[in-house]
Amino acid sequence: MSVEQIRALNDQLRKTLTGGKAFMTPGIAALGPETVQRLVTAIATFDDFCMANDPHSEHDFGMFEFEGSSIIFKIEYFDANFEFGSPDPADPAVTRRVITLMLAEEY
């Protein structure tokens, strides 16, 4: 598996919401559409990846403060049927990515 390819695919999803599916928890939805749009922009520009939150250099997790709330985003890798984990997260032909946006308190 290529960490560089995984990271590029994760960055694509995080920055453009293309190449996978995006979900938000009820707590995020309750912030309202304008706030959610600002949050999506903040996640797209997030660049505080470090050993503490990105030990595998895949850019698949982030936690930060946003307008008074602690926010988490997490990218997970599924097989083509969304039933099991992906056999190769570096291969978009066999991987379906999902990014979830949540309040830290919902974790």
* pLDDT (tens digit per residue) in 65-83: 999 999 999 999 999 999 9
Which residue range forms the structural domain that includes residue 101? 3-106
pLDDT in tens, 34-58: 999 999 999 999 999 999 999 999 9
36 phi and psi angles, rounded to 5 deg: -60, -40
Q: Cα dist. 49→43, 53, 55, 56, 73 in Å?
A: 12, 6, 9, 10, 12
CB crowding 96-105: b at 16 or more within 10 Å, else e: bbebbbbbee
Whether the pLDDT of residue 1 is over 80: the answer is no
Q: Residue 98's pLDDT band (boundaries 50, 70, 90)?
A: very high
- Round the average pLDDT of the chain to a whole number and report it: 97
Q: Full-prediction pTM beyond 0.85?
A: yes
Number of domains comprising the chain = 1
